[in-house]
Structure 1
Amino acid sequence: MPVTRSFFQKIPFIRITSLFLIGILVNHFFILDTRLIAIVLAILISTLILFWHNSNFVSIQIQNAILALTIALLGAFYPNHSVQEKDLDFSRKDYYLAEVCQKPGEKAKTFQTILIIQNDKLKAPEKVIAYFSKVGFDSTITTGNQLIILAKPQAIKNAGNPFEFDYQSLMHQRNIWFSVYLTNGMYLKTGHQITHIRNLSEKVRDRLIAILNEALPNKEERSVVSALTLGYRTELAQDTLDYFASTGAMHVLSVSGLHVALIYMILGFLLAFLKRGKIEPIIFSVVMISFLWIYAFISGFSPPVQRATVMFTFVIIGNGIRRPVNIYNSLTASALFLILLNPNVLFDVGFQLSYLAILGIVLIQPVLYNILELANPILKWTWSLFTVSVAAQLMTFPLGLFYFNQFPNLFWLSNFIVVPVTTFIMWFGIAFFIFSPFHSLGLFIGKIIQKLTYAMLAALKEMDAQPIAVSKGIIISTSQVWLLYGAIAMLLIYVFSKKKQWLFYELFLIIALQCSVLVTNFKFLNQKHIFVYNTRNTMIHLINGRNNYLITNGSKIPENDLKMTQKVMAQLKLNNPVILDKSSINNFHSVDLILDGNNLQFLNYLISFKAQSKFRNSDIISFRTQDKNINISTGYSNSKVNQEFTINSYIKSDGAYILNLK
Structure 2
Amino acid sequence: MTVLPFVRAVAGLAAGILLYTWLPDQYWLPVLLAVAGSGVVGWLLVRKSFRQAGVALGVALTGLLMAMGWGVTWLHTARNDANNLTHLTDTLRAYEGIVTAQPEERAKTYRVELAVQQGQWGTNVDWKPLSGRVIVYLDKAAGSVPRYGDVWLVNGAPRLIDPPFNPGEFDYKTYLSRRNIYHQQYLRPYQRRVIGNDPPNALTDIAIRVNRWADSVLTRQIGTRAEYGIVNAMILGVRDDLDSEQYRAYATAGAVHILSVSGLHVGILFFVLTWLIGLTAGKRDDRVWLIVLQLAVLWFYALITGFSLPVLRSAAMFSMLLLAKALQRRAPTGHSLSVALFFILLYDPYALLSAGLQLSSLAVLGIGAWQSPLYQSLTFRYRLANKLWQITAVALVAQLVTFPLGVYYFHQFPTYFLLANPVVMVLSMVLLPLAMATLAFGWVPYLNVCLGWLLQKTAWLLNEAVSRTGQLPGAAWGNLWLSPVELILIYALILLGGVLLLSRNRNWLWPLSATALVLVVLMVLGDTDRMQQRRLAVHFLPHRTAVSFTTGNRSLLLTDLDTTDQRSYEFYLKNTFGSWGIPEPKRVDIRQVSMGEVAKTATTTYYSRDYSLLVWQGRSILLVNRLSNYHHWRLPAVVDYLIIRRNALRDWDQLANRVVARHIIFDDSSRTPLTDQLLADAKMRHIACHSVRQMGAYVDEF
Where on the TM-score scale, by shorter chain, does this alignment land: which range? 0.7 to 0.9
Q: Is the 8 A contact 2:333 2:364 kept in 1?
A: no
Q: Distance in 1 between matches of 2:270 and 2:27?
A: 43
1:646 corresponds in structure 2 to 689
The correspondence for 2:699, drawn from 656, 659, 662, is 659
2:73 corresponds in structure 1 to 79
- Match of 1:571, as an amino acid? S
Q: Shift in Å at residue 393 of structure 1? A: 0.5
Q: Is the 8 A contact 1:429 1:449 kept in 2?
A: yes
Tell me, yes or no, if structure 1 residue 404 matches structure 2 residue 410: yes
- Match of 1:541, as an amino acid? S
Q: Is the 8 A contact 2:558 2:589 kept in 1?
A: yes
The correspondence for 1:162, drawn from 161, 164, 167, is 167
Q: Distance in 2 between matches of 1:474 and 1:623?
A: 41
Alignment of 1:179-258 (within 5 A): 179-190=184-195, 192=197, 194=199, 196-258=202-264
Q: Distance in 1 between matches of 2:429 and 2:77?
A: 39
Tell me, yes or no, if structure 1 residue 545 matches structure 2 residue 539: no
2:177 corresponds in structure 1 to 172
Q: Is the 8 A contact 1:608 1:623 kept in 2?
A: no
Tell me, yes or no, if structure 1 residue 17 matches structure 2 residue 10: yes
Q: Distance in 2 between matches of 1:365 and 1:424?
A: 22
Q: Shift in Å at residue 201 of structure 1? A: 0.8
Q: Is the 8 A contact 2:333 2:365 kept in 1?
A: no
Alignment of 1:261-276 (within 5 A): 261-268=267-274
- Match of 1:79, as an amino acid? T
1:361 corresponds in structure 2 to 367
Q: Distance in 2 between matches of 1:509 and 1:338?
A: 34
The correspondence for 1:568, drawn from 561, 576, 580, is 576
Corresponding residue SS for 1:508:
helix
For residues 369-422 of structure 1, give each alpha carbon's deviation from its aligned partner in whole angstroms, at most 9, with x where no partner exists.
111122311010111111100100111011111111100111122222222222
For residues 572-610 of structure 1, give each alpha carbon's deviation from its aligned partner in whole angstroms, at most 9, with x where no partner exists.
013764555555456966787533454333335433345
Change (3 A) 1:374 1:533: same
Q: Is the 8 A contact 2:626 2:647 kept in 1?
A: no
- Runs of at least 5 residues in structure 1 that lack an aligned partner in the other structure: 1-7, 627-640
Q: Is the 8 A contact 1:161 1:655 kept in 2?
A: no
The correspondence for 1:454, drawn from 454, 460, 463, is 460
Tell me, yes or no, if structure 1 residue 594 matches structure 2 residue 604: yes
1:618 corresponds in structure 2 to 647
TM-score, length basis structure 1: 0.86
Q: Shift in Å at residue 451 of structure 1? A: 1.0
- Match of 1:110, as an amino acid? T
Q: Shift in Å at residue 464 of structure 1? A: 1.0
- Match of 2:86, as an amino acid? K
Q: Is the 8 A contact 1:604 1:625 kept in 2?
A: no
Q: Is the 8 A contact 2:20 2:73 kept in 1?
A: no
Q: Distance in 1 between matches of 2:403 and 2:606?
A: 47
Q: Is the 8 A contact 1:105 1:235 kept in 2?
A: no
Q: Distance in 2 between matches of 1:575 and 1:112?
A: 32
- Match of 1:12, as an amino acid? P
Alignment of 1:367-386 (within 5 A): 367-386=373-392
Q: Distance in 2 between matches of 1:68 and 1:258?
A: 31
2:117 corresponds in structure 1 to 118
Q: Percent identity?
A: 23
Q: Is the 8 A contact 1:623 1:645 kept in 2?
A: no
Q: Distance in 1 between matches of 2:149 and 2:72?
A: 34
Q: Distance in 1 between matches of 2:246 and 2:40?
A: 59
Q: Distance in 2 between matches of 1:556 and 1:204?
A: 41
1:418 corresponds in structure 2 to 424
Tell me, yes or no, if structure 1 residue 329 matches structure 2 residue 372: no
Corresponding residue SS for 1:79:
helix
Which range is displaced more, 287-296 or 71-80?
Answer: 71-80
- Match of 1:28, as an amino acid? T
Q: Distance in 2 between matches of 1:575 and 1:119?
A: 48
- Match of 1:440, as an amino acid? Y
The correspondence for 1:435, drawn from 422, 436, 441, is 441
- Match of 2:6, as an amino acid? F
Q: Distance in 2 between matches of 1:90 and 1:390?
A: 56
Q: Shift in Å at residue 155 of structure 1? A: 2.6
Q: Distance in 2 between matches of 1:426 and 1:98?
A: 37
Q: Is the 8 A contact 2:92 2:119 kept in 1?
A: no
Q: Is the 8 A contact 1:618 1:648 kept in 2?
A: no
Q: Is the 8 A contact 1:148 1:187 kept in 2?
A: yes
- Runs of at least 5 residues in structure 2 that lack an aligned partner in the other structure: 80-84, 121-127, 629-643, 650-654, 664-682
For residues 425-469 of structure 1, give each alpha carbon's deviation from its aligned partner in whole angstroms, at most 9, with x where no partner exists.
222222211221224332221111111111111121111111221
Q: Is the 8 A contact 2:625 2:646 kept in 1?
A: no
* RMSD over equivalenced CA pairs, Å: 3.5
Q: Is the 8 A contact 2:138 2:187 kept in 1?
A: yes
Q: Is the 8 A contact 2:73 2:350 kept in 1?
A: no
Change (3 A) 1:59 1:127: closer
Q: Shift in Å at residue 283 of structure 1? A: 5.0
Corresponding residue SS for 2:434:
helix
Q: Is the 8 A contact 2:40 2:56 kept in 1?
A: no
Q: Shift in Å at residue 479 of structure 1? A: 0.8
Q: Is the 8 A contact 2:96 2:119 kept in 1?
A: no
- Match of 1:568, as an amino acid? T
Q: Distance in 2 between matches of 1:657 and 1:236?
A: 32
Change (3 A) 1:645 1:65: closer
Q: Is the 8 A contact 1:410 1:469 kept in 2?
A: yes
Q: Is the 8 A contact 1:548 1:575 kept in 2?
A: no
Q: Shift in Å at residue 291 of structure 1? A: 4.0
For residues 334-379 of structure 1, give each alpha carbon's deviation from its aligned partner in whole angstroms, at most 9, with x where no partner exists.
1111111121110011010111111111112112111112231101
